[in-house]
C-alpha cells in the first residue's frame, strides 16, 4: 500500500488525455499533474534541451513526494525516458512503449502508421519499440509539425485542421496501413478529424489507455495502490497562464478543473550532469 500521489507531466495540456484514462483505471489514486505550457511546444526542441526539462520536472514532482512518474508526452519520452529511468530510483513510464504494444496487437495487415511531433518521429523511438515487439511489422512514420499547436489553441475542428491532417495522412494512406498511432498526447482531441480523413479501415491507437493500464498493473504488482478512504485529490500545476490551463484543460480532461497553481521554473544546467552520467 502506498497512499502517495502519482506524478504526471506533459509540455502542455495533452497529458491530461492520459490523466483522464488513469482516473478511469485508478479512480482511487491521487494525481499531481504538471503542464509545462510556458515552454510548449516540446516537439521542435532538441534531445539535450528536452532532457534538461524532464529532469527539472521530475525533481519538482519528487519534491511533491510522488510514488510513480508518468511522462505523458511522446516528445519527452522519446528524448529522456531511458536517461531518467537510469538516473532516478522512482519507477517512471512513458507513453511510447504502451502505444507501440497496442498497435502491434491491433494490426492485421502488419502495416502501422505513426504520427507525432518532429522530435518524436526523428528519434525513431516508435520504430524501435514496435520492432522489439514484432520485427516483421512495416512502420510508416510521419512528422506533423503543427498539429499539437492547433490543439493547444483549441482549434480542433474546421477546414484548416482538416487540410493539415489530409496533407499528413495522404502518404500513409498510400502505404495501406490499417492502424495509426496517435504519437502525441495532444492528438486524441483531433480524433474526429483524423478518423474522418483516415477512413473506416484505419484504427486509431491512442497510448493514453494503454499507459493507464500499464500503470495500474505496475502499482498492483508492486503492492503500491492507494488504500486511503478519503476522496482522491487531483492537483494541477502549470508553468504558464493558470486561467487558460483551467479553461482548455477541462476539455482534455473531460471534467471541470478547479484550482491551478503556477510554478515558474529556474532553468538549470542539469543536462551537463545527465550527459556525463
Which residues in this chain contact ligand DGL in the complex, by CB under 6 A?
10-12, 14, 40-43, 73-75, 116-117, 120, 148, 184-186
* Residue at grid coordinates 502525441: 184
**Catalytic choice (32, 104, 184, 215):** 184
Q: Hey, CA dihedral for 267, 269, 271, 273, is it positive or negative?
A: negative
Catalytic residue flag (residue 144): no
Least Å from the CB of residue 45 to ligand DGL: 8
CA angle 110, 139, 208 (to 5 degrees): 90
Cα 176 to Cα 229: distance, rounded to the nearest angstrom: 50
CA distances from 49 to 73, 76, 97 (A): 15, 10, 22
53/68 with CB nearer ligand DGL: 53
Give the residue from 241, 236, 232 showing the smallest Cα distance to 16.
236
32/184 with CB nearer ligand DGL: 184
| SS3 of residue 72 by DSSP | coil
23/184 with CB nearer ligand DGL: 184
Query: What is the pairing mode between strands 203-206 and 179-183?
Result: parallel
| SS3 of residue 273 by DSSP | helix
Cα 236 to Cα 239: distance, rounded to the nearest angstrom: 10
Catalytic residue flag (residue 109): no
100/226 with CB nearer ligand DGL: 100
207/224 with CB nearer ligand DGL: 207
CA distances from 15 to 45, 108, 164, 233, 236 (A): 18, 29, 22, 17, 12
**Catalytic choice (8, 73, 96, 115):** 73
Least Å from the CB of residue 95 to ligand DGL: 7
Cα 131 to Cα 138: distance, rounded to the nearest angstrom: 9
Least Å from the CB of residue 263 to ligand DGL: 18
Least Å from the CB of residue 80 to ligand DGL: 12
Least Å from the CB of residue 113 to ligand DGL: 16
Which residues have a catalytic role annotated?
73, 184
Amino acid at each position: 500500500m502506498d497512499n502517495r500521489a502519482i506524478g504526471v507531466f506533459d509540455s502542455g495540456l495533452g497529458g491530461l488525455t492520459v490523466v483522464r484514462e488513469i482516473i478511469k483505471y485508478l479512480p482511487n489514486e491521487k494525481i499531481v499533474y504538471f503542464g509545462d505550457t510556458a515552454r510548449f511546444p516540446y516537439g521542435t526542441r532538441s534531445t539535450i534541451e528536452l532532457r534538461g526539462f524532464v529532469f527539472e520536472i521530475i525533481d519538482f514532482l519528487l519534491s511533491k513526494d510522488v510514488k510513480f512518474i508518468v511522462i505523458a508526452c511522446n516528445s519527452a519520452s522519446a528524448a529522456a525516458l531511458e536517461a531518467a529511468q537510469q538516473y532516478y530510483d522512482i519507477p517512471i513510464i512513458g507513453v511510447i512503449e504502451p502505444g507501440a504494444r497496442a498497435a502491434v496487437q491491433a494490426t492485421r495487415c502488419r502495416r502501422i502508421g505513426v504520427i507525432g511531433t518532429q522530435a518524436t518521429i526523428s528519434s525513431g523511438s516508435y520504430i524501435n519499440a514496435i520492432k522489439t515487439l514484432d520485427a516483421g511489422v512495416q512502420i510508416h512514420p510521419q512528422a506533423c509539425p503543427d498539429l499539437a499547436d492547433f490543439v493547444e489553441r483549441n482549434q480542433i475542428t474546421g477546414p484548416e485542421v482538416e487540410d493539415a491532417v489530409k496533407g499528413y495522412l495522404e502518404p500513409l494512406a498510400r502505404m495501406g496501413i490499417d492502424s495509426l498511432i496517435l504519437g502525441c498526447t495532444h492528438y486524441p482531441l483531433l480524433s474526429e478529424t483524423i478518423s474522418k480523413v483516415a477512413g473506416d479501415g484505419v484504427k486509431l491507437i491512442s497510448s493514453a489507455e494503454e499507459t493507464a493500464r500499464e500503470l495500474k498493473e505496475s502499482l498492483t504488482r508492486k503492492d503500491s495502490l492507494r488504500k486511503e478512504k478519503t476522496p482522491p485529490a487531483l492537483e494541477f500545476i502549470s508553468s504558464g497562464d493558470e486561467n487558460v490551463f483551467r479553461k482548455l484543460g477541462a476539455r482534455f480532461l473531460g471534467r471541470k478543473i478547479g484550482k491551478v497553481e503556477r510554478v515558474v521554473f529556474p532553468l538549470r544546467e542539469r543536462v551537463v550532469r545527465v550527459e556525463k552520467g
